Each structure stands twice: as structure tokens, then as C-alpha cells.
């Protein structure tokens, strides 16, 4: 007899033996077990009793109890709780207490296998159905579910596409439906899965009708406010309880350091040389980088390190994971493929070599550190080269609209073989596959169970274009968010908590690189020089008696470009922000359909007299204050030959301190853009503005706006292309 049946009998009919039979109808009709229902010796809290007896925990973790109470009471719930917070218990415990089988939708095979193994370890009957199992094994599992032999059945969302599967499950509805990794249902989520969209139309089939319809609990660790709303709409959960809990990690110190790619391997080795920094996970952006760092740590620095990525054989990857969990490896260097289902509580460091593509992904990965509650550290080493790589990867995943149109052109309104279609489209196979995938996601086409493709009716297909453009813009905005987070001078933990919409934002964490620069292990801070103190006083005096001001305007009015370039100014500004002397925030305006962001600052309180003691509290980031080197400067020796006539036509101003080779490259870009638009070159960018760009090397729209001769109109028209041109040489 199943653990589910035994528990229901014990909880609902206290005088029945645990082995008493119970049929499916009895289970379906079993009422929700009320809290604190029994009297006398049976007055123990049913929920707590189950937690102790079935899961071996003496008490709930923070926020778990309130979610479990709501689910047991039959309420639909959205739970957004970070990795390691105990989300799984919030469906597993109510599933047992409600006394009927629980159906779990999960997107990853590894995650399903891990959950099933843990449930079975607690003598709970659980099984799964996914593509990694044989057809016979899947049929046997389904039969066990139908015969009420399982407490939990985990299935992949793709299973709901099988004709009749959802209807068959719905003939005998489960007692609870759990949707794991629920952010996958939203096109605004960082890991959108098209098959998750099926849940909205399949859930009514699974739940059945009437007041006994099972509640839904949707769970995720990485849903922004926008994604949370989309999950509720897609699942039809209405006015559901939304629990956004536990994003503050009091034991996690966050540091983010800007450094070149060539510096990173040595920094990684130095950071992990300390025994207290291990065990550790190092995340890199490419398989090649993973292999190189792992080999360096193992061979050159004698650390027990190994690589883990999708290019390795499955057995090899599993071996690496098992050795890490068993303590035989101190460091795993991995792509994002590593981490799901890795339950290792004593990870001391999560180190990113390059920024992830989203804040959601970043937070999920650093959440694997310090689950034992002991002090841990999350360190990221990044540069704008990471941005270029992410832009490249995004372009592969999100082809231009012309590619989607090319694929759609060959799809009629009746099914055609997918292979035949791919042979007709004159695109690279990878791009054609990506374009077809996006058309399917956004409702322009659909695929049949026979691997055929068909164009959907025009009334629906017409929406795909705007949906696709919105999703692409959102992906770009997510990348902007993670780089903005990397550059912030505010408390890192507060910024993360606000990003995910947790209502109770705590005070500053006290141990990130903003709150405790003196305790950092990766970033290096120093006191300002005498000259920098004068600049800091000018900066603060420029804010006295005023409200919020654009950082670019303060730079221009209070200090001036000749005394400090924009990179130096930003380093000074970050210093006074970390010291709590000024506040910073992100502002924006719309121009020609494009949102341009910039930084605003204001004084914390009053005015700050010259020579005040407040200067003693300012610490400057030594890395950020170093002069920025560009590839163009490295090529200076190769670019010294220049004709006299060319120099005469474009002589730089007397104060120009930039790189002449970069000026030539910018002029070539300007000329090409001018010819495209049929206008003189100076209309695109004047010589004065061009030399200023080459001198200050702006990296954001805000920095472009601070350059004389470049206003909002030029930023809106040329800003993205100009910054991209600079980044390719930065």
C-alpha cells in the first residue's frame, strides 16, 4: 500500500490501523486535514507532525509554514523563493497532508531524478515520466499512478502534448498540482520553455470540475515582478496568494570586479588558494574557458578541480558531480549546465568568470553558496567583453525578423514535413531552426506529433511579429540590468531584493563590496589622493542645496572634463555613494521608441564643507580608477604612419589625449553612416564630438550625453551603433 494511502488513513481515521485499505474514491473524497484538529494526546499539529515523521525536520524553515498552510487549505499559490530556501517542501508536505496524489510539472530530467530520489529516501512513493526513460518504464509508472500506488508523479511539460494524456489524468484528478520552475511559462522569464505554455490550456483538463478541484502551487526562484504577473495570468490562478520570500541572504558577501579577460585566470587561482574559499563553483561563459581554468587550477595550482559542461560525456559529467558532492573535488569549473539538483550545503564560494546574461540567472547561481548558513562569498569578474559575447549569443538565439519571414514564407496552411521545410529555406541550418522555434513560440506556426509544421490562421499569426520584437527588447533589457547591477555603488543585496519584488527590503547587508569594502577579497580599495580629495569636494559642493541631478551634468558643471574624464568621475561618484554621502538611482527617457537610461544623484543631507572629516570615509576602487586601455591603444605603434594631407584635414585639438588610430576608425564609421543616410559626415558627428568620444571612450548612453555636441536626438539615432563600434575595440 502507498505511503499516501497509509498516511490518509492514519490522519483522517485515527483509530484505523496503518494497513487498512482505502480505495481511490475514498482518497478523492478525503477532506483537507484541518490544522490542530485532534484533541488530547492527538492534539499535535498535523503539519508539524508530518514534517518531523516523514521528512525528519524538527521545525520549518523561515516562510515555509505560511505557504504550506495556504496550500493545504486549498488555495492557489505562487511561491517565489530563492534556491536553497526549501520550496520543494512547500508542495511535498501539503501533498501528503491533503491525502491525495500530487502531480508535479518539472522541466528538467536531472531535477526530476533528484526530487524522486529524495522522496524515496523518506519512504515516500514517487516516480517520474520523461523522455529519458523507456516506453515500457513510462507505461509502468503511469499504471502505478492510475492504480493509486504513488504519492507523487513528476512529469515533463512536453508530456502534456501527447494526445489523451491530460484527459486521462483528469478522469481521476490529483489532490494537488505543483508547477516547478514556473518562470519557464513566461516569455519574460530568463529560461522560457514553449511547452510550458501548454499548461494554461491543459490545467483545466487535469483539475476536473467542481469544488473539489485541486489547488495549484507554482514555484520558482527567479521571477521578477513582471514574470510573476505573467505566471498568474498564464496559469489562470486569478487572485492567488503570492509569497515573495527569503531573498535576503545574510551570510552571503557579494563582490563584483571589473577586470580584463587576461587577468581572470590568475585572480581565480589567487582567490581559491585560501582553504577557507573552498569548496567552490566557478562559472564561465564558454566550454573552452571552463576547460582552460579547470586545467590551470589542477595542473598549475595543485587544486582538486575538474571541468563540467555539456560537451562532456554524460558519464563523465555525472562522475564529476558525484565526486564534488562526496568531497573528493574542491572546485568544479562549469557552465550553467551545472548546479540544478546539486545539494551541497558547504559551498563557500561561487565565482563567476564573466557575468551571466540575466540578474535572475546570477541570483540563482550564487544561491548555491552557503546553504549551511555559514559565511560565504559570491565573486564576479567581468568586463565589456562579456557583453559582446552575450550579444553574439542572443543574435544566434533570436534571428532577425527577415529570417523568420523567410521560414514562414515556405509554410502553407496544411502540414508539411519539417525536414522538407528546412531544405527549402535558404538560411544556415542553425539560424533556420532558431527562426522556426521562435515562430512556434509566438503562435505563427505549430508542429504536429508527426514532426510536421503548419501555418496557423492569419488572425493568430499576425501577432507573432510584435510579440517577438517585445521579447527581443526584453532580452536586451535583461542584459542591461545585469551590467547596471554590476556597476552599482548601492548595497548589492538590497538591489537584488528590490529586483525580485520582495516587499520587505532590509537595511544594507553590511558585508558586500559596497557595505564593507575593507573586508573584500577580490576588490582592492584605497583612500583618495590629495588631488582626488579636491575633486570629491567639488563633486559634493555641486550637489549642495539641490535635488536629484544627472550625473553627466554634475560631471560637466562641478568638475569638468579636463580635470577628470568620465571614467575617473564615475569612480569618485561610486566612492561617495559607498560612503553614504550621496544617493544614486537610474532614470530614463523615451526617444523615438527607444528608452535611454542615465544616472541621477543627490546629496544625502545638507552641505559638506571643504576639508570636512567625511573624506576619511571615502574608499575608491583601485581597479575602477586605473586608466582604461583599449585595443586601439595597443595598436598605436602600428598606426603611426599617416599622410601629411590626412593630418592637415583632421588635426586634433590641442587638448586631445586619445588614440589617433581609434579616431581614424570612428571617422570610417561616421563616413559609412553618412553615406547610408545621404548626409554630410558632420551631421552624424562633428570633429569636436568625435575627438571627445575617442578621448573619453563612453560606454553608456549617459556618458554619450555628457559629451558636448551629442544630445538626446543623436544618442537615440546613433548611440547604439556608436557604442557597439567602441566596444569592438574596447
Domains and CATH numbers, the chain: 3-244 (3.40.50.300), 252-386+490-500 (3.40.50.300), 398-474 (1.10.10), 525-621 (1.10.10.10), 631-727 (1.10.150.80)
Tell me the average pLDDT of the chain.
81
Going by DSSP bridges, is the β-strand pair 525-526/452-455 parallel, antiparallel, or unpaired? unpaired
Res 619: pLDDT: 86
Assign 3-state DSSP to the chain and report helix, strand, coil percentages, each to 5.
50, 15, 40
Res 248: pLDDT: 86
Res 209: pLDDT: 67
Residues present in the chain in total: 730
**Spatial distance between the Cα atoms of 450 and 469, rounded to a whole number of angstroms:** 30
Joined grid coordinates for residue 667:
571617422
**Spatial distance between the Cα atoms of 506 and 497, rounded to a whole number of angstroms:** 8
Indicate if the pLDDT at residue 213 is higher than 70: yes
More confident residue, 684 or 209: 684
Res 721: pLDDT: 86
Asked if 81 and 87 touch (Cβ cutoff 8 Å), the reply is yes
Mean of pLDDT values over 445-455: 83
Phi and psi torsions of 318, nearest 5°: -60, -40
Indicate if the pLDDT at residue 78 is higher than 90: yes
Asked if 116 and 144 touch (Cβ cutoff 8 Å), the reply is no
Strands (E), 86-161: 102-105, 126-129, 152-155
Indicate if the pLDDT at residue 145 is higher than 60: yes
pTM to 2 decimal places: 0.69
More confident residue, 337 or 507: 507
Choose from 96-105, 163-172, 454-463, 699-708 the range with maximum mean pLDDT: 96-105
Least confident span in 166-170, 222-226, 238-242, 567-571: 238-242
Phi and psi torsions of 242, nearest 5°: -115, 115
Handedness of CA 198, 202, 206, 208 (dihedral sign): positive
More confident residue, 598 or 348: 348
Indicate if the pLDDT at residue 94 is higher than 80: yes
**Spatial distance between the Cα atoms of 67 and 91, rounded to a whole number of angstroms:** 9
Res 611: pLDDT: 55
**Spatial distance between the Cα atoms of 157 and 382, rounded to a whole number of angstroms:** 35
Res 81: pLDDT: 87
Least confident span in 46-60, 370-384, 605-619: 605-619
Largest CA distance in the chain: 103
Res 17: pLDDT: 31
Res 37: pLDDT: 38
Banded model confidence at residue 477, pLDDT cuts 50, 70, 90: confident
Banded model confidence at residue 462, pLDDT cuts 50, 70, 90: low
Banded model confidence at residue 167, pLDDT cuts 50, 70, 90: confident
Res 177: pLDDT: 94
Mean of pLDDT values over 306-332: 91
Res 544: pLDDT: 79
Look at the block and give the residue holding cell 564560494.
Answer: 349
Res 725: pLDDT: 83
Res 461: pLDDT: 53
Residue-wise pLDDT for 173-196, tens only, equals: 899 999 999 988 887 876 777 778
**Spatial distance between the Cα atoms of 546 and 543, rounded to a whole number of angstroms:** 6
Banded model confidence at residue 717, pLDDT cuts 50, 70, 90: confident
- List the one residue out of 173, 153, 161 whose CA is nearest residue 27: 173
Joined grid coordinates for residue 383:
568586463
Asked if 443 and 463 touch (Cβ cutoff 8 Å), the reply is yes
Mean of pLDDT values over 192-212: 78
More confident residue, 682 or 242: 242
Amino acid at each position: 500500500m502507498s505511503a499516501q494511502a497509509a498516511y490518509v488513513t492514519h490522519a483522517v481515521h485515527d483509530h484505523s490501523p496503518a494497513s487498512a485499505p482505502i480505495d481511490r474514491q475514498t482518497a478523492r473524497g478525503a477532506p483537507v486535514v484541518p490544522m490542530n484538529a485532534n484533541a488530547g494526546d492527538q492534539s499535535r499539529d498535523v503539519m508539524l507532525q508530518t514534517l518531523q515523521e516523514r521528512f525528519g525536520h524538527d521545525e520549518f524553515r523561515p516562510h515555509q509554514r505560511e505557504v504550506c498552510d495556504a496550500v493545504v487549505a486549498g488555495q492557489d499559490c505562487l511561491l517565489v523563493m530563492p534556491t536553497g530556501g526549501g520550496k520543494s517542501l512547500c508542495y511535498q508536505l501539503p501533498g501528503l497532508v491533503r491525502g491525495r496524489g500530487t502531480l508535479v510539472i518539472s522541466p528538467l530530467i536531472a531535477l526530476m531524478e533528484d526530487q524522486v530520489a529524495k522522496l524515496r529516501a523518506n519512504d515516500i512513493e514517487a516516480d517520474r515520466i520523461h523522455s529519458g526513460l523507456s516506453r515500457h518504464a513510462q507505461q509502468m509508472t503511469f499504471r502505478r499512478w492510475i492504480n493509486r500506488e504513488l504519492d507523487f508523479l513528476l512529469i515533463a511539460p512536453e508530456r502534456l502534448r501527447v494526445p489523451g494524456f491530460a484527459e486521462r489524468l483528469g478522469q481521476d484528478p490529483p489532490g494537488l498540482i505543483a508547477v516547478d520552475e514556473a518562470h519557464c511559462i513566461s516569455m519574460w522569464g530568463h529560461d522560457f520553455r514553449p511547452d510550458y505554455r501548454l499548461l494554461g490550456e491543459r490545467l483545466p483538463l487535469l483539475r476536473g470540475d467542481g469544488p473539489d478541484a485541486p489547488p495549484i502551487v507554482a514555484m520558482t526562484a527567479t521571477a521578477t515582478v513582471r514574470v510573476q504577473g505573467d505566471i498568474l495570468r498564464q496559469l489562470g490562478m486569478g487572485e492567488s496568494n503570492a509569497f515573495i520570500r527569503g531573498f535576503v541572504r545574510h551570510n552571503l558577501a557579494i563582490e563584483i570586479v571589473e577586470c580584463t579577460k587576461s587577468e581572470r585566470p590568475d585572480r581565480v587561482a589567487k582567490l581559491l588558494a585560501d582553504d577557507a574559499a573552498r569548496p567552490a563553483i566557478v562559472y564561465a561563459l564558454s566550454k573552452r574557458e571552463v576547460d582552460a581554468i579547470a586545467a590551470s587550477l589542477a595542473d598549475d595550482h595543485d587544486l582538486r578541480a575538474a571541468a563540467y559542461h555539456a560537451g562532456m560525456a554524460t558519464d563523465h559529467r555525472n562522475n564529476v558531480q558525484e565526486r564534488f558532492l562526496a568531497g573528493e573535488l574542491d572546485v568544479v569549473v562549469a557552465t550553467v549546465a551545472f548546479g540544478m539538483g546539486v545539494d551541497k550545503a558547504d559551498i563557500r564560494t561561487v565565482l563567476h568568470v564573466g557575468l551571466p546574461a540575466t540578474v535572475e540567472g546570477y541570483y540563482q547561481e550564487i544561491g548555491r553558496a552557503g546553504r549551511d548558513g555559514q559565511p560565504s562569498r559570491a565573486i564576479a569578474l567581468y568586463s565589456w567583453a562579456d557583453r559582446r559575447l552575450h550579444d553574439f549569443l542572443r543574435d544566434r538565439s533570436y534571428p532577425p525578423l527577415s529570417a523568420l519571414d523567410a521560414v514562414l514564407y515556405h509554410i502553407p496552411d496544411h502540414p508539411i514535413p519539417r525536414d522538407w521545410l528546412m531544405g527549402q529555406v535558404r538560411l544556415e541550418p542553425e539560424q533556420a531552426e532558431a527562426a522556426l522555434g521562435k515562430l512556434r513560440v509566438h503562435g505563427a506556426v505549430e508542429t504536429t506529433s508527426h514532426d510536421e509544421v503548419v501555418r496557423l490562421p492569419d488572425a493568430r499569426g499576425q501577432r507573432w511579429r510584435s510579440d517577438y520584437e517585445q521579447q527581443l527588447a526584453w532580452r536586451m533589457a535583461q542584459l542591461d540590468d545585469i551590467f547596471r547591477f554590476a556597476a552599482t555603488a548601492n548595497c548589492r543585496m538590497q538591489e537584488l531584493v528590490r529586483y525580485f519584488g520582495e516587499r520587505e527590503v532590509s537595511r544594507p547587508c553590511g558585508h558586500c563590496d559596497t557595505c564593507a569594502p575593507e573586508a573584500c577579497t577580490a576588490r582592492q580599495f584605497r583612500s583618495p589622493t590629495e588631488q582626488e580629495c579636491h575633486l570629491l569636494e567639488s563633486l559634493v559642493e555641486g550637489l549642495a542645496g539641490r535635488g536629484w541631478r544627472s550625473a553627466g551634468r554634475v560631471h560637466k558643471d562641478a568638475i569638468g572634463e579636463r580635470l577628470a574624464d568620465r571614467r575617473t568621475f564615475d569612480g569618485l561618484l561610486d566612492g561617495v555613494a559607498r560612503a553614504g554621502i550621496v544617493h544614486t538611482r537610474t532614470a530614463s527617457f523615451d526617444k523615438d521608441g527607444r528608452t535611454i537610461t542615465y544616472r541621477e544623484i543627490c546629496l544625502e543631507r545638507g552641505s559638506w564643507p571643504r576639508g570636512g572629516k567625511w573624506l576619511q570615509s571615502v574608499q575608491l576602487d583601485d581597479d575602477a580608477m586605473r586608466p582604461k586601455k583599449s585595443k586601439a591603444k595597443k595598436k598605436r605603434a602600428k598606426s603611426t604612419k599617416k599622410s601629411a594631407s590626412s593630418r592637415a584635414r583632421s588635426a586634433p585639438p590641442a587638448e586631445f589625449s586619445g588614440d589617433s588610430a581609434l579616431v581614424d576608425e570612428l571617422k570610417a564609421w561616421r563616413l559609412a553612416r553618412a553615406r547610408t543616410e545621404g548626409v554630410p559626415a558632420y551631421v552624424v558627428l562633428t570633429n569636436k564630438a568625435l575627438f571627445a568620444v575617442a578621448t573619453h571612450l563612453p560606454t553608456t548612453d549617459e556618458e554619450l550625453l555628457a559629451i558636448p555636441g551629442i544630445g538626446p536626438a543623436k544618442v537615440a539615432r546613433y548611440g547604439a551603433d556608436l557604442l557597439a563600434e567602441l566596444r569592438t575595440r574596447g
